Structure formats: structure tokens, C-alpha cells
Amino acid sequence: MRWRCWNSKTPARERVSSDLNETTKEIHVTSASRSLAEAAERIIPGGVNSATRSIGAPWAFASAHGATLTDLDGNRYTDYHAAFGAILLGHGDERVNSAITAAIQDLDLVGLGTTELEVRTAELVIDAIPSADMVISTMSGSEAVLQAIRLARGATNRPYVVKFQGCFHGSYDAIARNVISSPDLAWRRDPNSSGILDDALDHTLIAEFNDLASVEELFAAHPDEIAAVILEPVPHNVGALLPELAFLQGLRDLTTKHGSVLIFDEVITGFRHARGGYQEICGVIPDLTTFGKSMGNGYPVAGLAGAAEIMRNFTPTGGKVMLAGTFNGNSVSMAAAIATLTVLNDPEVDFYGHVYRLGDRMRDGLRRITNGHGIPAVITGIGSVFIAYFLDGEVRGYRDLLRNDDEAYATFHRRMIDKGSLMYPMSLKRNHISLAHTDADIDRTLEQADEVLGAMARAGEFSLLRESA
């Protein structure tokens, strides 16, 4: 079964109450969490405000501090989900909360003109992101992508957009297709939702990541009709497909040659892997960059940056591409962004040194564990992101991910939750390390992983082990 995920309909197994320091016991989720979830199901569709939040136990949460989540029954979890990567410094960071408290003493929402907070946020973004001459703010990554696609089409007067199989760019209709596709639908017509007009879907073309020839074929088939190529420079929505520099540079050269806009969707990679996003690491500069997620450390803030020549197509500068949003640039979001980016800029904090070191510690540990148990696995990631694919051979693009043992992947994450390490229990979903995580957290999680993976290997729960037996 592909893309297996434990959801709210999956009954929880019997578990034993545990402290996080005990790696051999499992957490027991009792009635308070489940009762609140049932109350939610009566008045909220499915009991959750976003479909991917429905994972079963733990059903409901009471608090979040640092690297720890506590459910409604008092069970504690080391958080590697990090709200799909929105948490960068750790939950409830006092520097961010203090900045917000100070900001709202003077400003809530004006909705006219500008504020010092908006200007300061834009200055910090421009200072960080290589492609940024001008910046706008939005409330979510989906809105930032909507603005980027609309701007690219408005600036080029062309209809088509190229995206890559496996990349996710939010809920905007034009690119809501072909993310985690089944083998029979990959690279074919695979919308993320019903209710999307065929025209919107059919004007988005699908290529293969790390395969420049697949993009060149689309340009040849649609000459002078492609407005933009959009990609996650590291496709984190299917774990961590690491890009080849020649591929990224090839996209830059190809889009320049054909007069198309190159868009890096750095909603996940931006600020997490480097101040300037992955473009700072690879040296390939896109025309437009979407960003968000972690830049507010859990508060809603995102945006779009790019070359002034393109950004001036927005209506505030006399262009024809609409820019609107009542809550864009609100004081809470701007204060959160300023505080978060200030921490990232602080050499004494050394955010990147900390999370890269812990990320290497986790990845190295998982390699030792999977090798020790004879489990076919590719342990990969970058910086604070880590993932274990259960497959043989290299991982370059989505085609390789079709070999992943999805059931074993989801089982591994589900059982890690039972041990007290919260990892999203669906195949291909990544894990995150924050500034609040410690060496002790990593070491404890690796002990838990050793127990879980060892038991799974002995029980023959990996398909490749069963095939070779």
C-alpha cells in the first residue's frame, strides 16, 4: 500500500506510560486527548483545520515549549515535526514573544501606508536573500506562491508554468498537482484536490527533478509560452531530494535563454539552511523567491522577493498585477520575523553551526543503526533536516522514491511517536531540528530508533529484507 499514513480512524495500540528518559517504554494516550478530538470532529470537518494534521494519537496538545510538545494527557514528545518546519528556534521562544508583546503596545492593524516594522523586515530580507531587490509580505507560503505565479504570467504575458513531480507549492490552484503521486499518476494528471478548473491544471506542466532534459522537452513543445519554472531547490515535501548544481544552473540558463522567470520556492529551505536560503549555498540566483514558514518561528508570515524589474509589475508601482491583502505586513507577523531573523544573524547564537552539527549527529547515527541491523536505507538531508528512505541505490529524483518502502517508513515514524519522538507518520515526510534541540535529545532519539528499527528488522517488516530472505 503506497503513501500509508496512520490517521484519526486508526485505533491506538495499548501502550505503557513513559518518561522521555526511558527509551524502552511507550507512551499511553488516555481519554482527555481523544475526548477533545472527538469534540472537534463534531464541529470541525474531520476535527482538524488542515487535512495533514489528522495523524491519530497524539490527538490533542496542551503546550509547546522549546523542543517539547505535551499532549492533553501530560505525555511529552521531542518534536521533530516542528509544525512542518515552521518552528526554527524552538516553541515559545522568549525573544520572539517579547518582540511581539512590545510591538502590539503601539500597533495592531492599521491597513494603510506602512510602518517601521514593515520596512525593517524588508531590509532584513533583502540583506539576506541574494535575489531580493524588492520584497512584499504575505501571510502564508501559498499566498506568496500565488503572487509569484501571477506576477510571472503578468510580466511575461505567457500562460504555462513548469513544476516538478514531488514539489509542493501550497494550495494555489495553478500548481496544486503532482506532489506525492502514485506510480500510475506520477508525471501524469494528478490534481491535489477536486474543485480545480481543468484549465488551471492543464496550464501547469510537469518535469522530473534533477533531469534537465525533461524541462528542455517542455520548452521545445511550448515555444514562447512558458512564463515560469518553479521548484523547491531541495524538494523537502518528499523528504530531501538533493539538487545537482548542474541541474540548477541548467534551469537558470534555460529560463534566461527563453525569457522565462525562474522561481525558487524557499518556503522551507529559506532561512532554515542558510540566511539567504539554498540559493546562497548553491550560488544560482533565481528571478523570484518565495519564503515564509520558519521566518516567524510559528507566527504567520511569508513573502516574495525578487528583481526590481519584475517586482515593479505590481499595482502599487503602477503595474497591472494586483497586490492585495488586509493582513499583509501586520505588526505581529513583522515583529516575529524581525526577532527571528535577528537571532539567525547573531554570531554568538550560531544557529546554523548548532543545527548543522546536530543534523550530522542524527544522520550519522541513523546510518550506523540501519547498517548495523542490515536495513537497506538511504539516510539523507541537509542541515537541520533528516530523513531515512528505506530503499537500495541512489536517490536523485522522484523516480527513485517510487522504490521506497512506504509502509515501513510510516511504521518507523509511528513507533517513534510511541517512544516519545514526534515524527510525522506518513511516508516521505521530513524531520526537523531546531535551535532548542540538544545533544541529549538526539542521543535519546537514536537509542529509540535503534530499538524500533532493530525490532522491525527482526520481524521482517522491511520489504527488501523479505525479498532477500
How far from chain centre, in Å, is Cα 366?
Answer: 21
Grid coordinates standing for 248? 540548477
Cell 514593515, residue?
118
Q: What is the pLDDT of residue 28?
A: 57
What's the whole-number average pLDDT of the chain?
Answer: 91
* Cβ(343)–Cβ(294) below 8 Å: no
Ordered structural domains, the chain, with CATH: 31-79+350-468 (3.90.1150.10), 94-345 (3.40.640.10)
- DSSP count for the chain of H helices, then E strands: 16, 14
Closest to 238 (Cα-Cα) out of 196, 197, 210: 210
Cβ 403 vs Cβ 393: under 8 Å: yes
Query: What residues contact 178, with CB distance under 8 A and at least 6 apart?
Result: 163, 165, 166, 185, 186, 187, 188, 190, 206
To the nearest whole percent, how much of the chain has pLDDT over 70? 93
* Model confidence band, residue 347 (pLDDT cutoffs 50, 70, 90): very high
Q: What is the pLDDT of residues 8-32, one digit of tens each?
A: 333 332 233 333 334 444 565 568 9
| Among 166-170, 208-212, 273-277, the least confident range | 166-170
pLDDT of residue 41: 92
Comparing CA positions, the residue from 310, 298, 240, 311 lying closest to residue 269 is 240
Please state, in angstroms and rounded to a whole number, the distance separating the CA atoms of residues 268 and 236. 7
Per-residue pLDDT reduced to its tens digit, 237-255: 999 999 999 999 999 999 9
Cell of 52: 495533514
User: Are the CB atoms for 436 and 67 separated by under 8 Å?
Assistant: yes
Give the separation between CA 408 and CA 390, rounded to whole angstroms: 7
Given pLDDT bands bounded at 50, 70 and 90, which one contains residue 465? confident
CA atoms within 13 A of residue 259's CA, in its CB half-sphere: 9
Segment 401-428 shows an average pLDDT of: 95
The residue-averaged pLDDT of 452-462 equals 95
Q: What are the DSSP calls for 23-91, one per residue?
A: SSS-----HHHHHHHHHHHHHSGGGSSSGGG--SSS--EEEEEBTEEEETTS-EEEESSHHHHT-SS-B
Rg (CA), the chain: 22
pLDDT at residue 231, as a whole number = 98
Cis peptide before 58 (omega within 30 of 0): yes
Name the pLDDT band for 176 (thresholds 50, 70, 90): confident
Question: Considering only CA atoms, which of 56, 58, 45 is closest in space to residue 10?
Answer: 56
CA distances from 446 to 22, 68, 343, 381, 452 (A): 12, 16, 28, 16, 10
Q: CA-CA distance, 15 to 299, in Å (whole number)?
A: 34
**pLDDT tens digits, 351-365:** 999 999 999 999 999
In angstroms, the CA 209 to CA 284 distance is 16
Q: Tell me if 90 sits within 8 A of 66, measured CB to CB.
A: yes
In a 13 Å sphere around the CA of 130, the CA atoms on its Cβ side amount to 15
Q: Does residue 459 have a pLDDT over 60?
A: yes
At 191, is the secondary structure helix, strand, or coil? strand
